[in-house]
Structure 1
Amino acid sequence: MSEKKVRVLLAKGGLDAHDTGVKVVASALRDAGMEVIYLGLRQLPESIVEAAIQEDVDIIGISSLSGSLIPMARRLMGLVREKNLNIPVIYGGTILKSDREELL
């Protein structure tokens, strides 16, 4: 009997169009035996949460190289809480030192 793979949802939020980093992460996660669902570029918090529910994922990963991460993260985390989801959310990319505390 095979063990259930960890399901990871990856997305690029907002208008950020640089996706090389998130694709490298997706490849590394697959190599580590995880199942990766990559939503692609310009995803809204609503579409990310909807996909996380539909795909029954274990973790959400958001990649951002723009300065607009905080507004998107606030909305995303609000939806995660509103829907009572017990799914960890990890942020990666260019994160300003001043934004770190709010993202924890």
Structure 2
Amino acid sequence: MSNLQDTERPLELDIPDGVPEAQQAVELIRAWVADGALMVTINGEALGDQLQDWGRLLAQIGHHVAHSAALNGQKGERQSLDEIRKGFDAMLPRNESKLSGKVRRRSVH
């Protein structure tokens, strides 16, 4: 999936600013690359049947990734968004699902 070669402990990202102080907050998605494979956990109940909201979430993530690429001097935001869109379109299942995994209920920690 990527060329990540980190042999140390997995990098866990910080909780975004503002979340700890928020009166209401819910985690929607976690994603890891483990041994070259994408591992994803989602809170599928969080947005109910509002599937367009998931599309907006994915678009916002794309904008954040493109902005990060621009800040890192890799590419401009527009070019980055074009490449992200190509990757999204290439991986979006058309007629059959190639995903595997388990559906579990939410855990409260």
> Do Structure 1 and Structure 2 share a fold, with TM-score over 0.5?
no
How does the TM-score come out when normalised to structure 1? 0.32
How does the TM-score come out when normalised to structure 2? 0.31
Which one has the largest radius of gyration?
A: 2
Structure number having the greater helix percentage: 1
